[in-house]
Amino acid sequence: MNLMYWTILVIALALVILLPRVGLLALFKNWRATHEREQMEDALKHLIDREQSGRHASPESLGGTLDLSRAKVTRLIEAMETQGLIESRGAELHLTAAGERWALHVVRAHRLWERYLADEARMPLGQIHNEAHRREHNLTDAQLDALDAALGHPTRDPHGDFIPTREGALPKAEGMPLTAWQTDRPARIVHLEDEPAIAFEQILAAGLRLGQTIRILERTPQRLILSDGENEYRLAPTVAANVSVAALPESELLKREAVPLVELAHDQRAEIVVLDEAVQGFTRRRFLDLGLTPGTLIYPELQNFFGDPRAYRVRGTLIALRKDQAAQIWVKPV
């Protein structure tokens, strides 16, 4: 009896461990393969980020970014070279054509997920990076194309970074660090760097946002004082260096004679001047589908006891917009 019991127990344990697809050994192999692929994709992202900034990755920079020991970095580099993804040239690591295609796929997935999480899931900006990083490894090219189309083919992520196209085109980043911008010259915020996280949290806590027009009022070794015409913002230079700015585009010049739609009084008519640069992807496409184009007449018509959303009359149709949406539509009262 005891022999039969132990025989059945051994067979049961063997099945639990060795069953294909669902056994512990198969599950461990799948986990390890997934972990190794994700680690390789993180390495590819690091390489393309460095190349986009005009530098090249090295074993040291790769180990620091991925928090790996020298031995593990060496094994990772050897595996990527074996697959034809990178080439070592002295102390520098370079992407091959195949490595660049894969890297752009991962970057595109990450930035599209960030766009979705910010616009559709309404997740706070300080949380979207980690969540997008968790999701970026699991989409095929076809799934990425579907997500891109569902979001209205956005060109930038919520931090201002360009999103690679399905053909692999990735424009160079624009702008310069805020610390290099001249005092008292207006500028538009075009990028908010989300790493390191502690600096990004300070930028968000200060109230700065993508597309905002600001100017530097005062500059000292300890701080920069900025203004958007209504509020003042104080940043340490190390934090301000993570904010990129550029000269004002024509759309920003148009805003000078306009007000956000949200500020219109009840029944006050206005003409749409421009949609905010921060409006991207699905939201921008929805605005255009609703007829919210420059030159269109619009006005608040119905009062909402709670104040949000608010009803507006446009092209003979009544539409509802939240306050944060109406704040991104610039109009000129008529």
Does the domain spanning 2-95 belong to CATH 1.20.1250.20? no
Q: In this predicted structure, what is the pLDDT of residue 95?
A: 95
By CB neighbour count within 10 A (0-12 exposed, 13-18 middle, 19+ buried), where does 54 fall?
exposed
Q: Which residues contact 311 (CB under 8 A, 6 or more apart)?
A: 300, 301, 302, 304, 318, 319, 320
d(CA 228, CA 160) in angstroms, rounded, equals 19
Q: What is the pTM of this model?
A: 0.76
Question: What is the fold of 253-333?
Answer: SH3 type barrels. (2.30.30)
Identify the CA nearest to 224 among candidates 214, 213, 234, 238. 234
Domain extents for the chain?
A: 2-95, 176-248, 253-333
176-248 shares its CATH topology with 253-333:
yes
Q: In this predicted structure, what is the pLDDT of residue 45?
A: 94
Burial 9-41 (b: 16+ CB within 10 A, else e): eeeeeeeeeeeeeeeeeeeeeeeeeeeeebbbb
- Pair 215, 185: CB distance under 8 Å: yes
Q: In this predicted structure, what is the pLDDT of residue 22?
A: 56
Element (H, E) at 201: helix 197-206
Q: What is the pLDDT of residues 121-173, one digit of tens each?
A: 889 988 999 999 999 998 899 999 999 998 888 899 999 999 999 998 998 88
Question: What is the fold of 176-248?
Answer: SH3 type barrels. (2.30.30)
Beta strands 187-192 and 259-260, pairing class: unpaired
Q: In this predicted structure, what is the pLDDT of residue 40?
A: 93
* Mean pLDDT of each 10-residue bin along the chain, 334 residues long: 66 64 60 78 94 89 92 94 93 94 96 93 91 91 92 90 92 90 92 90 93 92 93 95 89 78 90 86 85 93 77 92 90 91
Q: In this predicted structure, what is the pLDDT of residue 119?
A: 87
Q: In this predicted structure, what is the pLDDT of residue 47?
A: 94
Phi and psi at 89, nearest 5°, equal -125, 95
Q: In this predicted structure, what is the pLDDT of residue 286?
A: 87
